[in-house]
Amino acid sequence: MNDSETNGTRGLALVTGASTGIGYELARGLAARRYDLVLVADDDAVRPVAAEFAPQGITAHAIEADLATNVGLAEVRRSLDALERPIEVAALNAGVGAYGRFDRIPIDADLRVIALNVTATVRLAKYVLPPMVDRGHGRVLFTSSSTAALPGTLFATYAASEAFVHSFAATIRDELADTGVSITTLMPGITDTDFFDRAGMENTKIARGPKADPEDVAQQGLEGLFAGKDRVEVGAAQRV
Ligand SMILES: NC(=O)c1ccc[n+]([C@@H]2O[C@H](COP(=O)([O-])OP(=O)(O)OC[C@H]3O[C@@H](n4cnc5c(N)ncnc54)[C@H](OP(=O)(O)O)[C@@H]3O)[C@@H](O)[C@H]2O)c1
């Protein structure tokens, strides 16, 4: 019996960074496609977000965990194990930036970018992919950035982390080409989310300039994911 036969939906989708911005819109798009949800974020605001989906007949679990820490990652793995349901779709989307000249940014801020954008992404990919390969199907959407292929001036660790995610996802896609598991990279341009406030750049020209709608970004990402595309570039022309 596959997962979809047990509860009337298409199965379970994991979304990290699901409380706001692009991740929230990915969750909404997956619910509209009839996936039950596991939503991960650092703050307890993820709980009311999960509750939003009940009227649609979607079961949404909230996991409050700091993915930039080993404790938080262990908590996510424990909570996912406890569900005893296969993950059909994973959107590894949580990410933050640290803005400023590298020599002036506190090292802890840089290391947190790497811990969340790189380490947590690799650890969660290692968690979700082997069972997908064993089952012979599954889809993973990695949120990188349109800045992945460029020097990210005033965003050194962030741009490098997004370059890592882009390369990592493209390579896994290649490696898993014959397994039935599909990997897609979402590469947004500047998008209207809380990202800029979190990165300490609310008063910058970029943050005040034109931005893409996170709903459009997420929808195009999901269309690409379900079409089996390698990557989806979407969003305002400026790059973050
Ligand atoms: N916005 C843009 O212009 C842009 C452009 C290119 C790429 N991206 C990428 O798109 C992705 C989504 O960002 P966004 O723009 O939607 O930003 P956002 O609105 O700030 O959302 C970030 C999400 O990640 C969660 N998060 C942050 N730190 C976390 C942690 N340590 N552990 C667990 N969850 C954590 C946040 O939850 P809490 O509130 O609970 O912390 C929130 O749900 C990121 O990977 C970002 O790099 C964004």
Q: What is the mean pLDDT of residues 171-175?
A: 98
Residue 165 reports pLDDT greater than 60: yes
Mean pLDDT of 185-190: 97
In the predicted model, what is the mean pLDDT of residues 36-49?
98
Contact 22 CB / ligand 1 (< 6 Å): yes
Is 197 within a domain? yes
pLDDT at 3: 43
CB of residue 224 inside a 6 A radius of ligand 1: no
Amino acid at 59: T
Q: How far apart are CA 83 and CA 219, in angstroms?
A: 27
Burial class from Cβ neighbours inside 10 Å (0-12, 13-18, 19+) for residue 229 reads middle
Name the residue at shortest CA distance from atom 26 of ligand 1: 17
In this structure, of 1-5, 112-116, 165-169, 179-183, the range with the lowest mean pLDDT score is 1-5
**Ligand 1 binding pocket includes 96 (Cβ within 6 Å):** yes
240 occurs within a structural domain: no
**CB 188 less than 6 A from any atom of ligand 1:** yes
Q: What is the position in ligand 1's atom list of the atom closest to the CA of 193? A: 19
Predicted pLDDT at 123? 98
pLDDT value for 235: 83
Q: Are 11 and 34 in contact (CB under 8 A)?
A: no
Residue 28 lies in a domain: yes
> Mind listing the pLDDT tens digit for each residue in 201-240?
888 888 888 999 999 999 999 999 999 999 999 986 555 6
Per-residue confidence (pLDDT) for residue 206, from 0 to 100? 85
Q: Which residue among 14, 15, 16, 20 has the greatest number of ligand 1 atoms within 8 angstroms of its CB, and so is best to mutate? A: 20
Burial of residue 136 (number of CB atoms within 10 Å: 0-12, 13-18, 19+)? exposed
Q: Give 41 Cα–ligand 1 centroid separation in angstroms.
A: 9
Q: How many domains in the chain?
A: 1
For ligand 1, what atom is nearest to the CA of residue 67? 32
199 CB near ligand 1 (under 6 Å) = no
Q: 8: CA distance to ligand 1 center in Å?
A: 30
CB 73 within 8 A of CB 123: yes
Cβ neighbours of 151 (radius 10 Å): 10
Pocket test for ligand 1, best of 195, 213, 238 (most atoms within 8 A of CB): 195
Nearest CA to ligand 1 atom 25: 17
Q: Tell me the per-residue pLDDT of 99-112, one tens digit each, with 9 for 90 and over.
A: 999 999 999 999 99
CATH assignment at residue 9 = 3.40.50.720
pLDDT value at position 118? 98
Whether residue 217 lies inside any domain: the answer is yes
CA distance 150 to 133: 32
- Confidence grade of residue 20 (pLDDT, cut at 50, 70, 90): very high
Q: pLDDT per residue over 52-74, tens digit each?
A: 999 999 999 999 999 999 999 99
Instruction: Confirm whether 179 is domain-assigned.
Output: yes
CA 130 / ligand 1 centre spacing (Å): 25
2, pLDDT greater than 50: no
Asked if residue 142 belongs to a domain, the reply is yes
Considering the domain boundaries, does residue 238 fall inside one? Answer: no
pLDDT top residue among 73 and 6: 73
Domain that holds residue 214: 3-233
pLDDT at 7 over 90: no
- The answer to whether the CB of 198 is under 6 A from ligand 1 is yes
The percentage of the chain sitting over the pLDDT mark of 90, rounded to a whole number, equals 88
